[in-house]
Structure 1
Amino acid sequence: MSTKNYVILDTNPRSNQNDDFILLGLKNQGFARGCPMLFGGTADAKKDGRPDEKDFALKVIRREVREETGNRIIVNQIGKRIHCAAGEDISVYTSHDFHFDGRVNLGTAGEFAWIRKVSKGKLSALFEGEEIKNCEQFGRHLFGMTLDESIDPTYEQYHDEYLPSESLKALYKYCLALFS
């Protein structure tokens, strides 16, 4: 069982209109600062229980997302696991059963500065227009859609952390399945 669990928050998995969104966090500090990433994180045995317990991944995701967003997003359920990093203990799940209070500014004190609502209609148009041919191109477009010029990543944060991240790979895989 994975000890790092992340979630793709999709408001409506069956629709790809401009008012359907995937919610991402814009990193404020640490790994991939200034870049869009999935919410979730590392299990805490004291808070989440043992990895072999029922609903372990949900417990980790629920706790991490609440902490990362200051309770602005509350995950009720997760769907199937869609990505598991080879050689790493990372799993990514989907969820459309969550509550988002609509407030996007998370401030500058935490791991994330913003909750970014990425339009699935705009993502769909990029895939249909063949502007995205691989994960790196997807990452560049996604970065452009979510950036905050006051949180500028270093070369290493962008090229060495964000572009090859499991978070980006999982999101690309998910979008490729949705829009292809």
Structure 2
Amino acid sequence: LVYFAEEQYQQLWFPAYGLLPRWHHARTIKSEKPAGLESLTLTFYQDHSEHRVIAGIMQQILASHQVTLEIKEISYDQWHEGEIESDIWLNSANFTLPLDFSLFAHLCEVPLLQHCIPIDWQADAARWRNGEMNLANWCQQLVACKAMVPLIHHWLIIQGQRSMRGLRMNTLGWFDFKSAWFAPPDPE
């Protein structure tokens, strides 16, 4: 996917092998196109410009294998509920610290994921609340069974002074400047 992206995206995207950059749960396996596969539907929420780019790249890649990709751009509310028929859903997530909270909370609270991934979400939520869940293993299982397929991780960059430190991102993907500070200049 990254290989086919324009240079501006290649500078910021890198292949994802797990839901977090440090996790390597996805195994690259060469496989044949399933017999009879001629078309797929991919759906994402319309206000995400990078999803449009990713969908276009996927459309080109699949076309080279004689598979038509129908792309649906829908409202965030429709996407969030996941009640529309689709073979593939694009999602993005910003996980903040503490990761053990934000990662599971994000996945568990999106109706789309509960609609598309047939696991016992309530039992898993209870295990998570009781501290009985190994989150890395749980996520690895979702990736192994292809319920989730991590595509890319995206480095976000702020234009400006490179000496800024302590900058964090909130769960909405906005930079939080309340703890930011500037490092002193390097001695010459």
TM-score, normalization: structure 1?
0.26
TM-score, normalization: structure 2?
0.25
More strand by share: 1
| Structure showing greater Rg | 2
Q: Which structure is richer in relative contact order (CA contacts within 8 A, separation 6 or more)?
A: 1
